[in-house]
Structure 1
């Protein structure tokens, strides 16, 4: 296992002190990518390690960096349901309207995976509700297809 693989494993495992030590010695790893194109921030967010995500952001990690599929850290937490990390990413400037290679957005992910609190956070932070994915569906379309009344109500507000 090379040093970069070990670094990414420490992030996945959530070992804050080891990640911090590695970054202090090799700060260039902050915006490096693993074989799937994920950055350290994307991995920290996806695995729910808010402390590591905050460290990376404070060190200047690119908040809207994308993996090989065009997903950002914010999209990952909308999929996984980590509201506090979503809030942190938005506070640090994440683009709530960023799109992946399939046209998906954080709002579409939060609706698809029934993450009402994160969808509300996105709406409260000015997310564009009318963005369509590559199949021509908006977040509202996904909410209706999946029978999610609370999300439908949220998306209807101030439309």
Structure 2
């Protein structure tokens, strides 16, 4: 079924303000990079500028597939979602351009970068790994949400 067909069941398209609010309130998502053998999907934390850009901090090893694929593409997708219950969830899908940020510009992103969530293991590993920062320029965004009641709690469901 299409999103339009599911609207009668409580599915709602999110407007731009709802999408911005949702992206501001979340810290992680799934980055999709094109690869020969199918999309390369990577769970990753992000910083958000509140409008049209996300920032990813990569900790790279010597043969990092995410680094290689990120350098080889301009366009990527990013999915952010939150599920509270089967009847209360939200998701935002972004399409945009991915580009490396020169280290000389990292200080300007300090506030955004520090707001991003990171696994504790990254704090120790950062000392020995290659770190890069990437900017995701949002070109397209769509968001949907369902904030309904379980059928047993619907007024007609009793």
TM-score, structure 2 normalization:
0.24
Q: Which has the higher contact order (CA 8 A, sep 6+)?
A: 2
Q: Which structure has the larger Rg?
A: 2
Structure in which a larger fraction of residues adopt helix: 1
